[in-house]
A = this chain, B = another copy of it.
Amino acid sequence: MKLLEDKIIRDGKIGAGDVLKVDSFLNHQMDVAFLCELGKEFKRLYADEKITKILTIEASGIGIACLTAQYFDVPMVFAKKTKTNNIYGDVYTSKVESYTHQKTYDIIVSKEFLKAGDRVLIIDDFLAKGSALTALISLVRDAGAQVAGAGIVIEKAYQSGGEWIRGQGIRVESLARIKKMDADGIEFC
């Protein structure tokens, strides 16, 4: 998506440790008008998929997932990273390995909010090694629901996650796919 690639070139910053910092519009400050355009694009891509629910993971997926859900007119559910006092009863659980934070954590979704019969679109801000996306897919399958696909804002296509997940027959639509990223700049697929 040209609009997004231009934005990444203009506002993104490359940091040490393979970090693409897009926190001026995506994951700290959120350029909501801009993100709505991404939401509409996800709707265009998945218009025929009879989506019944959007699923994401806290925290930085929540904004783009909410804005996207309004175009599908379906509820959004976000997987929580720890078991809090506010969640009772039965949950689906899965493990995520975070490379940014260098730790493994559990995510949970209450069984009330994912059901057999749901057709789920998973939305997330980044796809790199695919650990979060794999964990979300696992939650959907545990619920007996169907993964209609994934909508990713930025995919680091030089990492293994996208290939691995598409290789399982899952549709993954990434609005920007980075082929190469270094001090000289960013190259898209």
Instruction: Chain B residues near A77: list those with CB within 8 A.
Output: 28-30
Closest beta carbon of chain B to A71's beta carbon, Å: 10
Most buried by B among A15, A27, A28, A65: A28
Cα-based distance from A152 to B66 in the complex (angstroms): 18
Shortest A181–chain B CB gap in Å is 15
Contact between B67 and A70, CB atoms less than 8 A apart: yes
> What CA separation (Å) do A113 and B75 show in the bound complex?
30
CB within 8 Å of B: which residues of A? 15, 17, 19, 21, 23-25, 27-33, 35-36, 58-59, 62-63, 65-67, 69-70, 73-78, 80-81, 84-88, 100-101, 109-110, 112-113
A58-B59, A78-B30 known; A36 vs B70 contact (CB < 8 Å): yes
Give how many copies assemble into the complex.
2
Q: Which residues of B contact A58 (CB under 8 A)?
A: 58-59, 62
Contacts A58-B59, A63-B66, A66-B63 given; does A86 touch B19 at CB 8 Å: yes
Q: Which of the residues B28, B32, B86 comes within 8 Å of A69, measured between beta carbons?
A: B32
Known pairs A17-B85, A21-B86. 20 more at Cβ < 8 A? A15-B86, A19-B86, A23-B86, A23-B110, A28-B78, A28-B80, A29-B110, A30-B66, A30-B76, A32-B69, A32-B74, A33-B70, A36-B70, A58-B58, A59-B81, A62-B63, A63-B63, A67-B67, A84-B100, A85-B100
